[in-house]
Amino acid sequence: MLAHLSIRNYLLVESVELDFGPGLTVLTGETGAGKSILVDALALALGDRAEGGVVRQGAARAEITAEFVIDALPALARWLEEAGYPADDGRLIMRRVVDAGGRSRAFINGSAAPLTQLKEASESLLDIHGQHAHHALLRPQMQREVLDGYAGAQASANAVNTAWHAWQSARQKRLDAESHAQERAIEREGLALAVDELRALGDDLARWDEIQAEHARLAHVTTLIEGSQALVQGLDEGEAAVSSQLGEMSARLDAMQALDDTLGEVSTLLASASADLAEAVHALRRYADNLNTDPERLSVLDRLLGDMHRLARKHRVQPEDLRDLLDRFQARLAELTADDAFDALQAKEDAAWAEYQAAAKQLSRQRREGAAALAKQVTAAMHELALAGGRIEVALQPAGEPRAHGLEDVVFLVASHPGLSPGPLGKVASGGELSRISLAIQTALSGVAGVPTLIFDEVDVGIGGSVAEAVGRRLARLGNTRQVLVITHLPQVAARGSRHLRVSRQDSGGYVSSSIELLAADARVEEIARMLGGLKITPTTRQHAAEMLAG
C-alpha cells in the first residue's frame, strides 16, 4: 500500500509530506484549492508524462517521491530484484524529478530507471479512477475492457488479438498468391530463361579476369613470340649481345681489381648482374617455348567473352557481376516457386484460423461467465446507490464477422427504473444515473483487482443526499479490504473516512500556493461543517457534522 508521499515545488505546492495508512482516506477542499494535485503528482511519480509547466513558479525543479509497502506483493518484489531494483525491508520508493524545461528523471529504489519500468511497477500498486470515467464507459471498447477485466480475461483477449492478426496475415498471403499468380508466372518464366542462359556459362562466370587474360595472350601470341626471340637475340645471341659486353666488362674490371682491391664490391655486383642476365635469358627461352598459337581455343574464348558481354548488356551489369546476378535470380526464382505453393499457404491459413477460433471460443466462455456475475454485482450496487428496481445487463452480441476482439460485441444495457426495458447505456441513463452506474462498476472491478490501493478522483460528481450516503458507505466497505483514497466534495462521503486530508489555498501578495494537511478530530468537524453549510458555519451545521462523523 501507499505509505508516504513527498511533493516539492509541484504546481501550487511548495512542500508537503504525507503519511498514509490502510482503510478509507478522504481528501477535501474548497473549489480551486487543487484537490487533484495529490493524484496528479502521484501519477507523475508512477510514470506519467512530464511537462515543464508542472514546476512551481520560481523553482528550478519539481520532485515527487512515493513510498510503498510491498510485503504482500511477492511477485512485484521478484520483478524488482530481477530488474536490478531490490526492495529493502519490503519498501519500494519511486521518485520523479522534473526541471523547469520539461526534462525529467525517474528513480526506483534510488537507481535511475526508464518510465516504462515505473509504469510496469505501478500496475501492481494501484488503480486510479478519474472523475470522467463514466464518459469513457459509453464507448463499446471500454465496456468490452471492463468485462474482460472483471472476468480475468485480459490474457485471453490479448491471445485472441494476436491470433486474429496472424490469421489475417496468412489469409492475405494466400489471397496475394492467388491474385498475382499470373504476374508471378510471367516473372518466373523470364527468370528461368535468364538463369538457364547464365548457367550455360558454367564456372566461367566466376573467371572473368582469368578468361580476359588468357584471351589477350592468345590474341597476341605472334607478337609475344617475336618479342621474346628479339629479347633473347639482343641479350645473348647477337654480335652485340648484352651478355658478351658484360663479359668483356667483367674481364676489364678483374684487371683493375688486381691493381686496386677496393673494386671488389663493384666486381661482386657485376658478377651478380651477369648471373641475373643469364637467368632472365633462360626464362625468356622457356616462355617462348611455351607460346603456341591455338586458333581453336582463341575462337572458344571469343565466343565466351561475346556471350558474357551480351548478357552483361542485357541485364545492365558489369561482366564480372554476372555470378552475383545468377545467385540473385536463383533466390528470387525459389521465392516465387515457394509463393506458388498454394496448398502450403492454404494450410497455414487454416492452421491460423483454427488457432484463432480456439482462442476466441475460450474468451467467449470467460465473457459469458463474467457477464452474468458482473451484471448481478453491479445491479445490487445500483440498488444501494438509489437506483432501486434498476438493473444492468451485459449482453454478448454476435459480431458480424470474426474480429480482433473476438466473436462477439459487448454491450451494457441498463434500465434505471422498474418496468423499463434495458437499453444502451448512453441513451437510457441520465448524467447522474450514469455517474452512479459507473461508480458501481468501478467498485465491482476493484473487488476483483489485485492491486492493494484504489484512488477515486471525484467520481461522485452529480449526486447528493441519500445517494451520497450510500456512496460513502460503499467506499467505506471497500476500505475494509483495500487502501482507498477518495477525492470528494460530498460531506456524506468525507465523513466515512478513517483519515481526512484537506487541501487549502493561500493568497499572499499575489502569490498563490496550496497545502495539504491531515485533520485532527476537531478540524474534521469544521471541514465537514464547511462542506455542509458553505461560508457560514453555524452551531447547527457543526452539530450535524459531528453527528455524521459519529455515525
Q: Around 262, how many Cα atoms within 13 Å sit in the side-chain half-sphere?
A: 0
- Rounded Cα–Cα distance for residues 492 and 487 (Å): 12
Residues of the chain with pLDDT under 70: 32-33, 130-136, 219-220, 222, 225-226, 293-294, 298, 338-341, 431-432, 447, 449-450, 459-462, 508-510, 534-535
Tell me the pLDDT tens digit for each residue of 89-120: 889 999 999 998 889 999 999 999 999 999 99
Q: pLDDT at position 272, please?
A: 87
Q: Show the cell assigned to 97.
A: 524529478
- Rounded Cα–Cα distance for residues 400 and 303 (Å): 67
Those residues whose C-beta lies under 8 Å from the C-beta of residue 14, and which sit 6 or more positions away, are 8, 56, 513, 515
3-state secondary structure of 113: coil
Q: How many CB atoms lie within 10 A of CB 257?
A: 14
Fold classified for 1-125+451-519: Rossmann fold (3.40.50)
Domain boundaries, the chain: 1-125+451-519, 183-339, 521-551
- Nearest to 399, CA basis, from 411, 391, 389, 383: 411
- Nearest to 458, CA basis, from 414, 494, 500: 494
Tell me the pLDDT tens digit for each residue of 193-213: 988 888 888 777 777 878 877
- Rounded Cα–Cα distance for residues 166 and 99 (Å): 44
pTM as predicted: 0.59
The answer to whether residues 305 and 284 touch, using CB atoms and an 8 Å cutoff, is no
Q: Show the cell assigned to 101.
A: 524545461
Q: pLDDT at position 392, please?
A: 92
Q: Please spell the DSSP secondary structure of 375-424, one letter per residue.
A: HHHHHHHHHHTT-TT-EEEEEEEEEEEEETTEEEEEEEEEESSTTPPPEE
